Amino acid sequence: MNDEPRVGHTPLQRHLGMYYLDDLDNPPADGSATVAGEVRDELKGPAGSLEGGLVATLIDTAGATAAARALNGLVATQSLTISFTAPVRVGPAVARGIPVRVGKRDAVVEVHLTDAGNGDRLCATALLTAVRIGERPALGEDGLVDR
């Protein structure tokens, strides 16, 4: 694993300050994927916590990445169920997805999202189902997904 965090691979991920905490080229043995996101003032809602849609985006990214590893291909999220348990207030928000069932074309991934700056407080749990839709996209020299 590199000591440097890997930035997001899409313009949206980079804009939101998302980055990978594990090595995308050499994933952990359990097939998990861990993604973190900054908690900046412009990403907080009126209550002072990270917007729920951004929590969902982190969960989706970690879950889909774990599913893509398990299915060895490009995936699309088919379903996502989230239980929000506490607000993310400090950050970074860290989402870790672990495959719990892998089929020929789909995978089910459990995702936990914590607030790392608040004692790793559990803030959301989720179950994501992803379906394989093609080959993995190539990354360009800039680290972005080539289209």
pLDDT (tens digit per residue) in 103-130: 999 999 999 999 999 999 999 999 999 9
* The Cα angle at residue 144 between residues 142 and 147, in degrees rounded to 5: 120
In percent, the amount of the chain with pLDDT more than 70 equals 89
Distance, in Å, from the CA atom of 133 to the CA atom of 115, rounded to the nearest integer, reads: 32
| Local structure of residue 42 (DSSP, 8 states) | G
Strand partners, 146: none
pLDDT of residue 146: 57
Domain count, the chain: 1
CB 45 within 8 A of CB 114: no
Task: Assign 142 a pLDDT band (cuts: 50, 70, 90).
Answer: low
CA–CA distances in Å: residue 65 to residues 7, 40, 73:
14, 24, 10
Do the domain assignments include residue 128? Answer: yes
Domain of residue 121, residue span: 6-134
Question: Which domain CATH number covers 23?
Answer: 3.10.129.10
- What is residue 7's three-state secondary structure? strand
pLDDT (tens digit per residue) in 30-44: 999 999 999 999 999
Neighbours of 84 (CB within 10 A): 15
User: Tokens in use for 91?
Assistant: 């950050």
